[in-house]
Structure 1
């Protein structure tokens, strides 16, 4: 891609950042648009926009064109998440949502489990453009299912506000948003910067580097299952603490990776990050809406998903900018190490808030709903 588009490797980070930016910019309008278009029409429109942009990105002949279509593609994908989440969460009571969240996130694991390895193979065999073309069959299938399964009457929401900021006074929602900023957000940054590190410094092939997402996904699967099983018993605090520590440990171990590091060690590192990150993300998602009223779910979902996309955008952008700044004053390998150390430090920040969290209140709320 760097050769075809005549650009630097560091500039290619904007291919992923552009997609995240598109998601971030459109999410605040999700509740407003679903009110006037209806969730069914909005979902169908979003899938069409996503598909057209994916095809255009595959035919892009410059970095500027590619980034533009990635932004458009992100806008199409960004409307799907909050609308779909609000529709789902409204169907379940608070004590049931941890189990639902586990099922949803396990399905979502298929993408990080398969896409890096498949993407690496596509790049090596068919070329980088097929990374975008390969998404079209899935998008078209989803479009057909949405057209068939969703109906207008059951998918119209009531809220027309862009963002209902008073909901941020809810402590569990606010805590969950902080966790997402610091833990999954940092992993997205690591997945961008780390893949460059593994290929350029540790000398891994694209397929070998992408295959490391398989142990990440397996560990994530286990962590999500544990969240669904123990969230109602333990509450969010102990799960978040363990998750932060595991991901930070995995990131710190990346600082010692060299071309001589065995693949088994790399698999362990990514498994630690997968277990810790998914323990935090699934717990945060289960707890975020615990005390949110059903009527406020569309607005809370818009806030949650805006923060989610900001987390991904900031994580990737912050670590990319930090790496670029550090490599001006030190060697590339040392710059990567300090970038990883900074990411591990940010991952641990939610521990400060977790100590002050009223975990007993969350457990009482869950007990009340069950009874």
Structure 2
């Protein structure tokens, strides 16, 4: 339990950082005089880097040892945080966020490896649920802490706060995490890594460029889109042919795993893509501070964390083909009701009620779909399946954030986008509020559309519990 609690502190550090940044997007846009389609790379770059290192975690553990790798990841995350807080322009901030993502992406898989080795089978379930505290605490406290630091101190402190946290984790982990001996690792598919990561980055860059140019035929759009698609196609082809690929996509040939992966990709694109919009709506349309905007998102984070704990037990008793469509419907209902009432003067109480539904449906869907996908695989396939699903989740998050930000940028009723709004006086902003709310309303439609599409693969999942 001591080991688990130390690992939780490290994971909270990473989850805090992810959620804090969403509240800071508006302030960062003003600070660097940059549009939303560019500033969103502060979140997207982090997600892409996080996803890129997940497939390498098993190889790195074998090469360097779990304890040594975990300490190095925590130290690199803290250093990356200090560099991000010291950024002098938007390009440097995005680059340092990539450093954070690359180190933060190792914390969860390496922590799980350490815990699996340290815990006996009879205590594993309890200790794994302890790790789930990070998923609850980070999204709950991150926006509020970030809002306070942004309003009362500086946006830079939302990164500097990771330095004392990182130092605490290093001291504690060095004392309580048992030393392990590196083992000969399996070969790493370096060529696959060099195809996948640039391919995803180019695809998302092409999408954001399309939003900026409003023209898919422009060379600035077509070139990265085609290059990215080509690299991803080559990566998929390689993954299906080599004996030990970076991501073993062959696990998706299993019907339940394939349907679960499709569900996860669609749902995560809509659900996580909308996370960037909520604090922006409260700040841009309603004129709230970063602290208030973060606090108003608490109902969604709280409902998500609680439902995640309950859903982990329900999916062991209810067939996924019956449970997951119901959970997705809860999220879909929340998003539809939220979109319908989203306006310049919508009641915060009514919005909070719909946020409870959105969070409950999201938390009730994400963990059960991962459980469903991996449970249908053989014991030998489960690690590969888990890695593929984590990669799908982080990639979907990055794509969702990019698409939402580009769509909102195109719909904002002011020439110059988000950065132009910062120069308007309060009276002009108030006059624009209805049109701004409409832009957010139409952008938010992406989420319920993607979540509704996730119902299709959900209905293909087994409607009976597997027999022992």
TM-score in terms of structure 1 length = 0.87
Q: How does 1:68-83 map to 2 (within 5 A)?
A: 68-83=95-110
Give the C-alpha shift of residue 12 in structure 1.
Answer: 2.2
Structure 1 residue 116 corresponds to structure 2 residue 146: no
The match for 1:177 is 261
Distance 2:269 2:133 in 1: 19
Structure 1 residue 66 corresponds to structure 2 residue 93: yes
The match for 1:355 is 459
Per-residue CA distance 1:256-309 (angstroms, 9 max, x = gap): 223422221121121111100000012113223213344444433322221121
Any conservation in 2 of the 1:189–1:315 contact (CA below 8 Å)? yes
Distance 2:256 2:112 in 1: 18
Distance 1:121 1:329, change over 3 A: closer
Structure 1 residue 278 corresponds to structure 2 residue 363: yes
The answer for unaligned runs of 5 or more in structure 1 is: none
Which of 186, 207, 224 is equivalent to 2:291? 207
Distance 1:223 1:105 in 2: 12
Structure 1 window deviating more from structure 2 (169-178 vs 310-319): it is 169-178
Distance 1:285 1:213 in 2: 25
Which structure has the bigger radius of gyration?
2
Distance 1:112 1:151 in 2: 29
The match for 1:29 is 56
Structure with the bigger RCO (C-alpha within 8 Å, sep 6+) is 1
Which of 145, 150, 171 is equivalent to 2:172? 145
CA RMSD of aligned residues (A): 2.8
The match for 1:197 is 281
Any conservation in 1 of the 2:62–2:182 contact (CA below 8 Å)? no
Give the C-alpha shift of residue 19 in structure 1.
Answer: 1.0
Give the C-alpha shift of residue 335 in structure 1.
Answer: 3.0
Distance 1:100 1:244 in 2: 28
Distance 2:171 2:376 in 1: 35
Distance 1:77 1:107 in 2: 13
Per-residue CA distance 1:208-265 (angstroms, 9 max, x = gap): 2211232123212331232133221103233321221222222223332234222211
Distance 2:312 2:130 in 1: 9
Distance 2:323 2:442 in 1: 27
Any idea what SS the aligned residue of 1:258 has? coil
Give the C-alpha shift of residue 157 in structure 1.
Answer: 8.4
Give the C-alpha shift of residue 51 in structure 1.
Answer: 0.9
Give the C-alpha shift of residue 329 in structure 1.
Answer: 11
Any conservation in 2 of the 1:85–1:301 contact (CA below 8 Å)? no
Distance 1:327 1:109, change over 3 A: same
The answer for unaligned runs of 5 or more in structure 2 is: 1-27, 188-243, 416-434
Any conservation in 1 of the 2:29–2:36 contact (CA below 8 Å)? yes
Q: How does 1:302-341 map to 2 (within 5 A)?
A: 302-327=387-412, 332-341=436-445
The match for 1:132 is 159
Task: Report the number of matched residues.
Answer: 362
Any idea what SS the aligned residue of 2:408 has? helix
Give the C-alpha shift of residue 328 in structure 1.
Answer: 7.7
Distance 1:299 1:51 in 2: 29
Q: How does 1:37-56 map to 2 (within 5 A)?
A: 37-56=64-83
